[in-house]
Each structure stands twice: as structure tokens, then as C-alpha cells.
Amino acid sequence: MALDDIADIVDLDRYPLHRPDSVAEHALLCAGRAALKNRALFTLPGFVRSQAVAAMAGELEALVPAACRYQAERYCYTFDGNAWPTGHPRATTHLSRYHQVLNHQISNDSPLRRLYCWEPLREFLRRLMGYDTFYRSECPHLALSSKIACEGDVDGWHFDSNDVVFSVLLQRPEGGGHFEYVPYIRTDQDENYDAVAAVFEGQAEDVQCAELSVGDLNVFQGDQTLHRVSPVHGRRRRIVALFCYDREPGTNFGEPYIEELRRCMPATKI
């Protein structure tokens, strides 16, 4: 199957996003807004058809030798200029280690890019989020990317710096690689450091584990929701595709992180 047609990629019978005023689309928007409000995560199960999932996963796995191999001890907050005492959540780092296939490495005729560039998806997400404007990111590195995690890889506890992330799980590992999160653990007014510290110490009772299945589209609000991907086990890699959009046109990601990614690229690039 060439996967030239979006109907071969997206289950349009279940998710008629190309019919923006249909009853089905309206119901999806209502369900999605409620899910985001309650638990910061909205999942559209089986959004990507299984043949397309397999093609996308295969394409990304073939790119692993050329991918960035990221490894860093990261803080879960952006730096605020203060010196925090040892043991404070702001002074605590977490290992993040994975391969990341970057936007410019994903071919223009890939089914993954066809999905990312599908206008009805962008428009559905804009309406879901209630934004006036919504653009595909123009970042040459991170507009469309994929994190690929093998044995022992992990994405440590963090908050996202953007409001919302759209992802599709393309391959599950044999074990681990769970998406764990604590919805709205902080607010604009209250960082709730004690609760964050309890999560780091494994003492929190409100950590949720999302049951992500391959082909699901996930809409996730990670700016106030602490989250991580637990260590992956087994020979099969965990593969997730990440789609970036922005309310402003023409924005790029901050150079410090891109610079780090560049440093982690293998010597031989494709």
C-alpha cells in the first residue's frame, strides 16, 4: 500500500476530521475538551491505521543510525536564576536518554509527514484547543520528530515548555516505557513543590499511567502536568512521533536545546 491517500493513514470512518461540522466531529471536540480539563490527556484510539503505523515505525527505525543520541541529566523546570538547596525539586536532575529522529531527517513523502501536514488535523487541533490561530511549527529540527527508546532508555520527569504536545505511539517495547503523569500538579499560582518532591521519591499516590496503544493520537497538556516515560525493557524499541504546532507563525525552538541535539548527532549524517 502506497499510503498516498490520507484515508489509508487515518481511520476517517471513526474520525471524520475532514467533515468539520459533522455530529461526529462535534462529539469528539466535546469529549476532548472534557478529557483535557480533567486529566490533561485526550486519546483518540486507533487514529492511525495499523498498516500506516507499521510503515511509519519501519521508516523511523531505519533512521536510528543517523539519529541524534541524546543523553543528559535534566532539571524538570526551566532555569529561574536562583540557587536552590540540594534535595529541592528545582535542584534535582533526571536522566533522559533516547534517540531522536529530527524533522529534516524525515522525508517529504513519508506517511508520517503526510499526516503532520494534513490540514484537517491542524484545524481539528486548533478547534479542540480553542485557539484563534494555530500553525505547524517551522522548526527545521523539531517540527516533526520521533523519540526512539531502547533497553534502559528513559525520558525523565519534566514539565513541557509548550502548552500542548501531540503524539502517536508507533511501537511499544516489550516492557516498561510507560507514560506516567500527574495531571495539573502545579498551577500558575502554586508550584506545589512538596507534591513534586513526593513524585520524585516514589511516594505519590496520584501518579497515573496512560495505557497508550500503537496508532492512538494523544493530545497532552504537559506544562502543568509532571510526566515521564519510565525505563524501556527488552529488544523492541519504543517509538513515538511528536508533532509541533504553535499559535504564532514562524516560531522555532530555543537554540540551546537544538545545539545540544546537534552535538549528539552521529558523525556520519544522511
Binding site for Fe ion (CB under 5 A): 160, 222
Nearer to ligand AKG, 66 or 165 (CB): 165
The rounded Cα 238 to chain-centroid distance in angstroms is: 13
Using rule CB under 6 A, residue 229 touches ligand AKG: yes
**CA neighbor of 138 nearest in space, from 3, 245, 257, 2:** 245
Site residues for ligand AKG, 185-224, by CB under 6 A, read none
Instruction: Kindly list the distances between the CA atom of residue 147 and the CA atoms of 13, 57, 155, 159, 167, in Å, as whole numbers in the listed order.
Output: 29, 11, 9, 17, 10
Residue 118 backbone phi and psi in degrees, to 5: -75, 115
Q: How far is the CB of 239 from ligand AKG (least distance, A)?
A: 9
Distance CA 238, CA 151 (A): 9
Using rule CB under 6 A, residue 97 touches ligand AKG: no
Chosen residue from 147, 178, 186, 237 binding ligand AKG by CB under 6 A:
147
Nearer to ligand AKG, 127 or 147 (CB): 147
Nearer to ligand AKG, 110 or 146 (CB): 146
Using rule CB under 6 A, residue 100 touches ligand AKG: no
Nearer to ligand AKG, 59 or 155 (CB): 155
All three cell numbers of 54: 507499521
Using rule CB under 6 A, residue 60 touches ligand AKG: no
Instruction: Kindly list the distances between the CA atom of residue 259 and the CA atoms of 18, 202, 256, in Å, as whole numbers in the listed order.
Output: 38, 33, 5
Binding pattern to ligand AKG, positions 230-249, x when CB under 6 A? ----------x-x-------
Task: Write the CB contacts of 244 (distance below 8 Å, at least 6 apart in sequence).
Answer: 136, 137, 139, 142, 143, 144, 145, 162, 165, 166
3-state DSSP assignment of residue 182: strand
Using rule CB under 6 A, residue 226 touches ligand AKG: no
Residue type for position 30: C
In the bound state, the residue with its beta carbon closest to Fe ion is 160
Using rule CB under 6 A, residue 253 touches ligand AKG: no
Residue written as cell 501518579? 207
Q: Look at residue 156 and give the partner it binds from Fe ion, ligand AKG, none, a contact being a CB closer than 5 to 8 Å depending on partner kind.
A: none
Q: How far is the CB of 7 from ligand AKG (least distance, A)?
A: 26
Using rule CB under 6 A, residue 227 touches ligand AKG: yes
Chosen residue from 155, 182, 214, 219 binding ligand AKG by CB under 6 A:
155
Percentages (nearest 5) of helix, strand, coil residues in the chain: 30, 25, 45
For ligand AKG, the binding residues (CB under 6 A) are 147, 155, 160, 165, 167, 179, 227, 229, 240, 242
